[in-house]
Amino acid sequence: MTAQKITYLILILFSLLSCKIEHSDNEKVLGDIFPQLIDSLRINSTNLFLPPPPPLYDQDSNFIGIDTVTANLILKEYEQKLKIIDSLNPRLLIGLVDSCLIFDLDDLENRTYSNDKLLRMIVDNNKMDSIYRSETLNIGLINVPTSYELLLLSDLKNKYDDFWDIKDRRFGGLVAVSAVLFDKKKDYGLLRIETYPFLFEGAGYFLLIEKKDNSWIIKKVLNDWLL
């Protein structure tokens, strides 16, 4: 084998190892911050609402209150429905968009919060480097609490004809995330996240994260956009 071929194989091997390490970093971060993420962004069941109580009107069509008898019946039926669903699968289902979001660092620099020293340090560390960005995430490597279930969007579409109208599960909507940008020491990081609790409704955020005791925590949530 020629020296040129050996060099070529070494470069390929190094590239594969680099991809694997970077990919593992993303899943490690998401596993660490997942419970905080759910709490900070208030992700909860959005498809199983309690129906509103029926109103009562007088003979002149003036609102005079609510039908408490019917409202209690509705509440009882609703609670029974939740018990049945939870007995089948109590975990909150969250769909994860297959492809990672892309960072537009030029756009980020034009934001007012780009003056944040920590954010500025992370952006400057990544601006000139050619960093591997994983196109998909390995759900199996994300340490998700037992009360939640992550499912790729492609798998959701295969399982449900209309996943926005899931009836047999508590459903928290869709989440899309980016790869993580780190500072030089990998003590801090930055990632993008988008949440879609309903069809045609959503919000985007930047998350500043910090590593403490070998685990990642959310340090700051920065609003990006809102639909």
Contact 175, 43 (CB under 8 A): yes
DSSP 70-94: HHHHHHHHHHHHHHHHHHH--SEEE
- Neighbour-count burial of 74, counting CB atoms closer than 10 A to its CB (0-12 exposed, 13-18 middle, 19+ buried): middle
* pLDDT for position 152: 94
Residue-averaged pLDDT of the chain: 84
Measure the CA–CA gap between 211 and 219, rounded to whole angstroms: 9
Report angle CA 48, 93, 42 to the nearest 5 degrees: 70
DSSP bridge partners of 178: 101
Instruction: Identify which of 186, 31, 38 has the alpha carbon closest to the alpha carbon of residue 121.
Output: 186
Asked if residue 144 has pLDDT above 70, the reply is yes
More confident site: 55 or 105: 55
Q: What is the pLDDT of residues 71-107, one digit of tens each?
A: 999 999 999 999 999 999 999 999 999 888 888 888 8
Asked if residue 210 has pLDDT above 90, the reply is yes
* Residue 14's pLDDT band (cuts 50, 70, 90): very low
* Residue indicated by tokens 């050619």: 130
* Residue indicated by tokens 């295969």: 158
Q: Is the dihedral of CA 176, 179, 182, 188 positive or negative?
A: positive
- Number of Cβ within a 10 Å radius of residue 196: 20
Measure the CA–CA gap between 130 and 74, rounded to whole angstroms: 57
* Residue 24's pLDDT band (cuts 50, 70, 90): low
Average pLDDT over residues 125-151: 77
* pLDDT for position 129: 58
